[in-house]
Amino acid sequence: AQSVSQHNHHVILSEAASLELGCNYSYGGTVNLFWYVQYPGQHLQLLLKYFSGDPLVKGIKGFEAEFIKSKFSFNLRKPSVQWSDTAEYFCAVISGGYNKLIFGAGTRLAVHP
């Protein structure tokens, strides 16, 4: 079965620190990859997505992710985090068409001022 692994469950950073959240997926075929964010009390929002083309994807709020097919990875990065980035981050994959998202367990990020 397809699965998504997020390596860090909790991350604590100070403002201005750099962020990298790991994500690996198990499916070997064509995949669509996503990072979603859930701010406290809010709904899931899309940060960025990869369908095809340039493996370095830029999203909202200064986030980017790199798709490395050989490593089955789609890591999320941000060079300098802000307190407002405190949230839970989910990596997700769709494979085989349709709209069945397989989510990772999520990473809770806390940014301290």
Partner 1 sequence: KAGVTQTPRYLIKTRGQQVTLSCSPISGHRSVSWYQQTPGQGLQFLFEYFSETQRNKGNFPGRFSGRQFSNSRSEMNVSTLELGDSALYLCASSHEVTGSGTEAFFGQGTRLTVV
Q: Residues interacting with partner 1, by CB under 8 A?
A: 32, 34, 36, 42-46, 49, 51, 90, 92, 94-95, 97-106
User: Given the complex with partner 1, which of 28 and 79 has the nearer CB atom?
Assistant: 28
User: Given the complex with partner 1, which of 98 and 113 has the nearer CB atom?
Assistant: 98
Q: What is the bridge-based pairing of β-strands 102-103 and 73-78?
A: unpaired
Q: Taking the complex as a whole, how short is the minimal distance between the CB of residue 80 and partner 1, in angstroms?
A: 26
Nearest to 50 by CA among 23, 31, 37: 31
Q: Taking the complex as a whole, how short is the minimal distance between the CB of residue 101 and partner 1, in angstroms?
A: 6
Q: Taking the complex as a whole, how short is the minimal distance between the CB of residue 98 and partner 1, in angstroms?
A: 5
Report in angstroms the alpha-carbon separations of 30 from 93, 108, 110.
10, 28, 33
